[in-house]
Copies of this chain bind each other. A is one copy, B any other.
Amino acid sequence: MGRVTTRCRAQHLTAESAIARPETLAVEEPMEIRVNGRPITVTMRTPGSDIELAQGFLLTEGVITRRDDVLAVRYCRGSAGPDGANTYNVLDVTLAGDVPPPAVDITRNFYTTSSCGVCGKASIDAVRLVSRYSTADQTVEVAASTLTAMPDRLRSAQKVFSRTGGLHGAALFDPDGTMLVVREDIGRHNAVDKVIGWAFENDRIPLSRAVLLVSGRASFELTQKCAMAGAPILAAVSAPSSLAVELAVQSGITLVAFLRGDSMNVYSRPDRVTQ
């Protein structure tokens, strides 16, 4: 594997000059996730931590909840590329017999319910209906100065980003600031699924004492993943969306955004951030 970056030649143009030079690119490849042999979704991802990605995805979609729910995860042998070699782009997750397989259109889970129109409230209700964990009840606290130190630590650990400028990062921290895991991906939802998949594999779900940090913006989808993993604190370097804030308020998640320099905005449950 190790297909995280690749090289190419590009023309570098400035006002005065044009030179051909080598550039490092972040790798993007499709990955198909199958459950019990049936294709569920295709995501464009950066190869690496694929098994974490698949399990994090299935956990945050409400399909699996604990390690015993998964019997095996394997790359499909049949998925050969043009040269006949395995592409390592198809993963099959075999569920335990008592775990119901997901509906075909899994990605619609949290955006719409059949009983209601498609709207933000329906999306939020769907997450609250499906999630097994009460993020609102978590009593964890984190110091503001611990939070403001996190983005620099994420960036230092994002080795690929520094070479390509092309990857999102996600990390889990303990409330005392200990960094537990960092993952990178071309898709920010994939980076989050990878760290949640890591937690799943290490029996740390629900993430009742963790801070989930993301290098970009906080969307509905990322907040939903927090709720599904039972993580009470989501911190983002950039802006939150309206629906991310609404879901955080409804789920009792502490949503921190614009976490830059020595300041931040706290949009919900500020009682968990101490000064």
Contact = CB atoms under 8 A, between A and B. Distances in A.
A79 B165 contact: no
Nearest to A165: B239
Given A266-B13, A267-B8, A27 B242 contact: yes
The dominant DSSP class at the A interface is mixed
Contact of A119 (B11, B26, B89, B164): B89
Contacts of A220: 28, 44
Contacts of A15: 144-145, 148, 262-263
Nearest to A26: B241
B13 A144 contact: yes
Given A87-B118, A90-B117, A165-B258, A263 B27 contact: no
A148 B13 CA distance: 10
A121 interface: yes
A134 interface: no
Chain A interface size, as a band, is 35 or more
A72 interface: no
Interface in A235-265: 238-245, 258, 262-265
As for how many copies of this chain the complex holds, the number is 2
A29 interface: yes
Nearest to A275: B18
Contacts of A49: none
B118 A221 contact: no
Interface of A: 6, 8, 10-15, 18, 23, 25-32, 39, 42, 44, 78-82, 86-87, 89-90, 105, 107-108, 111-112, 116-123, 144-145, 148, 164-166, 186, 217, 219-221, 238-245, 258, 262-267, 270, 273, 275
28 contacts: A10-B267, A11-B265, A11-B267, A13-B273, A15-B263, A23-B267, A26-B239, A28-B219, A28-B243, A28-B244, A29-B119, A30-B111, A30-B123, A31-B118, A42-B108, A42-B111, A42-B118, A44-B220, A80-B116, A81-B117, A81-B121, A82-B121, A87-B117, A89-B117, A89-B118, A90-B117, A90-B118, A166-B241
